[in-house]
Structure 1
Amino acid sequence: MLPGISTEVVAGSKMADLVIAGSGVIGLSVAFELLQSPGLQPARIHIIAQHFPGEEPISHEFTSPWAGAHFRPFPHRPESFGADRRESGYTRVTYKRMKTIAAEHPESTIEFMKGADYLEQPPSEYDGMSPGYNKDSLENFREIPKGELPPNVKSGFEYTTYCLNAPEYLGFLQRQVTALCKAKGVELCFKRMTLRSLAQVYEVVPSCDVIFNCTGLGLQLDGSYDPSCFAIRGQTLLLDVPHKTKFAAATVTHQGRDGNWTFVIKRPPVGGKPAQYILGGTKQPGDNCVTPRDMDSHAIMERARALYPELLCESEFSVARVNVGFRPARNGGSRVELESASPGPVIHAYGLGGMGYETSLGVAEHCLRIYRGLKCQRSKAKL
């Protein structure tokens, strides 16, 4: 039994067994939204994963606990317009749901605040009017006047966004899924294992009705991984900042002329502890080094020393931990679709890269629309 997890069986009359492969933010969000969707509750939900929230030490194979995390919108780029539009749509659904969750569950750690982007050499789509990045699609969006911009920054924008404490939010989702299952008479089964293939799910759960494939890099039925997927190494610093700072109410991202992104993301506090801050970071596709690199940390701190001196503690950064995580990205953007194949249907939901939290509930909503459609097709086929 996993720490803090009840596996008590509560009798129910539902018929289907559903399997969610993966216990990161996408997998847990699918379970969370499923349990609040009328007509979709199964008899049992099986969550199969190699790692689960709350484990220490955190495995580098488990991406979600390492995240910042915040919502940072972006304009749709000409070279990836379709994928950007799709992902942006997921973020807007998630944004609305996050507002509701924050109001109903303060323990979720979701905090709404100001977001700011500063760009030293902005791409042409950062004009304040492009799809996905304008006053019509973002709350309190405005272009920052030139006189308010930091040195060397050519353009900047502000909007309302949110931050959350990634490990705590994962734990919140896990607890909510457990409580909702108990309340609705759904049996919840956590199984720790490394799947050789998605087809193996049907050996473990022969009564499986459908698999939600939330495996990040896209494990397939035949045991291969989606060839379009790849990992992006990210190294960040978790900072203790005991004094008051403007970043308690704002998250800031700065893009330098050299292309480096330097960001500050609040990790809202729990249990009376002070807030911490994620300072990042690196974006290193194809780099599989799990060990923190001093060179990367020093580069991040040198940029931040000039950009965010408010985070310094007596002229130095108080680094609580160096994080190394691997964002599960995919060429062409995320894959959220139904695959009808033997031995059974799969609803894929992976390849979100570094956007797992900000797209999570939107992806879950899309998955459940697919599942509802699948159930309707089956009902019609029986007539």
Structure 2
Amino acid sequence: MSKPHLISLSLIPPPMSHVVVAGAGVIGLSIAHQLLLQNSKIQKVTIIAKDFPHDLLTCEYTSPWAGAHFRPYPHKPESWENDAREANYTRVTQQFFEKFAALNPDSTIKFSKGTDFLEAPSKEYLELGSGYNADSLKEFKVLEKLPDGVKFGAEYLTFCLDAPEYLKFLQNAIEQLCKLQNIQLQFVKLTLPSLKYIKELYPDVSLIFNATANGLQYNGSYDPACFKIRGQTLLLNVTQPTPYNRKTITHQSKDGHWTFVIRRSATHYILGGTKQPGDDYPLPRESDTVKILSRASKVFPDLDTSDIIRVNVGFRPARRGGSRVDKSLHEGLPVVHAYGLGGSGFETSVGVAKHALELAGLGRLESKL
């Protein structure tokens, strides 16, 4: 069994309350960040993960590859409760980001118009169902002028961010908050064999937040409802003026393929993408790249796709039945689980973190729907 390798700081070490976060994706880092923003009683925080934002990126570390924008959808009858819960996470996140981005421009969070174009919209879209209407979304409007083949279009206020830079920002912010509050902090590079192993490493642990992508369990097994969705996107360098610096556009064809363009920075844009459940191929596929570019040439004809900086591959950590955000007790040790968000990690991140803190008795989740 591998020994942990400490890669970051250890501050003033009082032997008091010790919180461990397992996982350093956007959910794990958001939980730690919100914990430090809301609570001053914690004396020690340890974050354990195989990968951290400042490491060389791998396809298994999904968060840095994300397009990272907010795209809502109407609740489906068969998954109503879960859809409503996760939609509320996104609204809580958006409200937090509105204030936070203004105070922290280096967070890379930007607000703009979000636009959806659907060639074969479901009944829930056409009827402006719960979660997808002016009651739920800011600046929501159904569009009358539509591209060829599109049967439904709408726009709303959305946000996007530069995923890898935002993760680094969160890690740095966690460090700074711990320094200001004299909280002992460790970042530990380790592949955990089980959540129980945390207790063996740190007998003083008082609370675990389980933000492992695929639902690592206390005994070392994984949540059987979890599965991976392979995503391939292109990072473009676009130096010419483009309308996409002021809006994100998501287009769904009648055969179900999603094509989207999301601004990441001044000249960098994410063009995607694929949704391939159960596909664990870790390298870029040229055939996927060709298909993405072919679709983009039709739905985004004014987007310059000639300069591809990188082809991204990541595995969205999804879960059948929806995400798991709940609490369990193991040998007297409380564990709060927060995983299985699939491709919605960034847009739900603050809401999930606040719910996790509420379950731990350390915060409160507001209802925004």
**1:291 offset after TM fit, Å?**
1.1
Q: Give 1:237's match in structure 2, choosing from 231, 234, 237.
A: 234
Question: Is 2:167 aligned against 1:165?
Answer: no
Q: Give 1:266's match in structure 2, choosing from 250, 259, 263.
A: 263
Alignment of 1:181-260 (within 5 A): 181-260=178-257
* Cα distance in 1 between the residues matched to 2:270 and 2:362: 40
**1:210 offset after TM fit, Å?**
0.9
Instruction: Name the counterpart of 1:123.
Output: 122
RMSD between superposed Cα atoms in Å: 1.5
Q: Which stretch has the larger CA shift, 211-220 or 335-344?
A: 335-344
Instruction: Name the counterpart of 2:268.
Output: 276
* Cα distance in 1 between the residues matched to 2:345 and 2:39: 25
Q: Deviations over 1:142-188 (max 9, x none)?
A: 1001xx11111011000000110000000010011000000011011
2:230 aligns to what SS in structure 1? strand
Instruction: Name the counterpart of 1:9.
Output: 11
Q: Deviations over 1:326-377 (max 9, x none)?
A: 0000011010000012262210000000000000000000011111179xxx
TM-score (norm 2): 0.94
**1:15 offset after TM fit, Å?**
2.4
Question: Is 2:42 aligned against 1:42?
Answer: yes
* Cα distance in 1 between the residues matched to 2:72 and 2:121: 15
Instruction: Name the counterpart of 1:297.
Output: 289
* C-alpha contact (below 8 Å) 2:6/2:186 kept by paired residues: no
1:309 aligns to what SS in structure 2? coil
Question: Is 2:97 aligned against 1:108?
Answer: no
* Cα distance in 2 between the residues matched to 1:182 and 1:223: 33
Alignment of 1:142-153 (within 5 A): 142-145=141-144, 148-153=145-150
Instruction: Name the counterpart of 1:379.
Output: none
Instruction: Name the counterpart of 1:19.
Output: 20
Q: Which runs of 5+ in 2 are unaligned?
A: 364-369
TM-score (norm 1): 0.91
* C-alpha contact (below 8 Å) 2:39/2:362 kept by paired residues: no
* C-alpha contact (below 8 Å) 1:16/1:208 kept by paired residues: yes
**1:128 offset after TM fit, Å?**
5.3
* Cα distance in 2 between the residues matched to 1:59 and 1:246: 32
Q: Deviations over 1:53-101 (max 9, x none)?
A: 0222x11111100101100011001121111111101001001011111
* C-alpha contact (below 8 Å) 1:128/1:143 kept by paired residues: no
* C-alpha contact (below 8 Å) 1:199/1:343 kept by paired residues: no
1:372 aligns to what SS in structure 2? coil
Q: Deviations over 1:176-203 (max 9, x none)?
A: 1000000011011111111000000001
- Structure 1 stretches of 4+ with a deviation exceeding 2 A read none
Kindly provide the amino acid, as one letter, of the partner of residue 21 in structure 1.
A
* C-alpha contact (below 8 Å) 2:6/2:188 kept by paired residues: no
Kindly provide the amino acid, as one letter, of the partner of residue 53 in structure 2.
P
Distance 1:250 1:2, change over 3 A: farther
* Cα distance in 1 between the residues matched to 2:240 and 2:232: 24
* Cα distance in 1 between the residues matched to 2:249 and 2:81: 27
Q: Give 1:371's match in structure 2, choosing from 354, 357, 360.
A: 360
Question: Is 2:315 aligned against 1:326?
Answer: yes
* Cα distance in 2 between the residues matched to 1:373 and 1:130: 34
* Cα distance in 2 between the residues matched to 1:2 and 1:247: 42
Kindly provide the amino acid, as one letter, of the partner of residue 142 in structure 1.
K
**1:2 offset after TM fit, Å?**
7.4
Instruction: Name the counterpart of 2:351.
Output: 362
* Count of residues paired in the alignment: 359
Q: Percent identity?
A: 51
Instruction: Name the counterpart of 1:286.
Output: 278
2:114 aligns to what SS in structure 1? strand
Instruction: Name the counterpart of 2:80.
Output: 81
* Cα distance in 2 between the residues matched to 1:360 and 1:213: 14
* Cα distance in 2 between the residues matched to 1:104 and 1:325: 31
* Cα distance in 2 between the residues matched to 1:205 and 1:104: 36
* Cα distance in 2 between the residues matched to 1:128 and 1:11: 57
**1:311 offset after TM fit, Å?**
1.6
